Amino acid sequence: MKFVSIIMGSKSDFDVMKSCSQTLEEFGVQYELIISSAHRSPERTKDYIAKAEAKGAQVFIAAAGMAAHLAGVLSSKTVKPIIGVPMSASALNGIDALLSTVQMPAGMPVATVAIGKAGAINSAYLAMQILALNNEELSMKLQEDRIAKAKKVEMDSLEIETIL
């Protein structure tokens, strides 16, 4: 079974990351979602990565705030794609997490998306785009979604536009 693994550093991340899981559900993409911390439960995190890979995890999404080392830990333990979602969990409104997630050393890549809900949703889309490289049905669903988004812009404009 191929699936996306979503790992959150804290339960407080769930309110934002449920947008990620809901997006995957809308496209019929299977996922696992757990809480595991790079700092508070490093052995659990390491063990989970190995188990998830053995079960078929194809892409890992890591959501963490503050020091946000979760995505980096995942990158050190697997060669599967890692997508980091910086969370706004401190007085710095997620800027600290963004910098921690995006500043990886050469050879330890983490694709980093926006802070918060937009990032959570985009992490799902990016994971699906990776999976769609070998899944024509998912690729078609993503293409149809893009067409629907473009049509919505046109419809929204028709409601308010004034053209001379």
Q: Residue 89: what pLDDT?
A: 84
CATH number of the domain bearing residue 67: 3.40.50.1970
Identity of the amino acid at 161: E
Q: Residue 63: what pLDDT?
A: 97
Q: What is the pTM of this model?
A: 0.94
Distance from C-alpha of 112 to C-alpha of 75, rounded to nearest angstrom: 12
Strand order across the 31-35 sheet: 31-35, 3-8, 57-65, 82-87, 111-112
Determine the structural domain holding residue 14 and report its residue range.
Answer: 3-134
**Structural domain includes residue 26:** yes
**Structural domain includes residue 113:** yes
Walk along the chain (164 residues) in steps of 10 and give the mean pLDDT of each run: 95 97 98 96 96 98 92 96 94 92 95 97 98 97 98 95 81
Number of domains into which the chain is organized: 1
**Structural domain includes residue 66:** yes
**Structural domain includes residue 95:** yes
- The binding site for substrate consists of 10, 13, 40
Q: Residue 42: what pLDDT?
A: 94
**Structural domain includes residue 84:** yes
- The binding site consists of 10, 13, 40
**Structural domain includes residue 102:** yes
**Structural domain includes residue 143:** no
**Structural domain includes residue 107:** yes
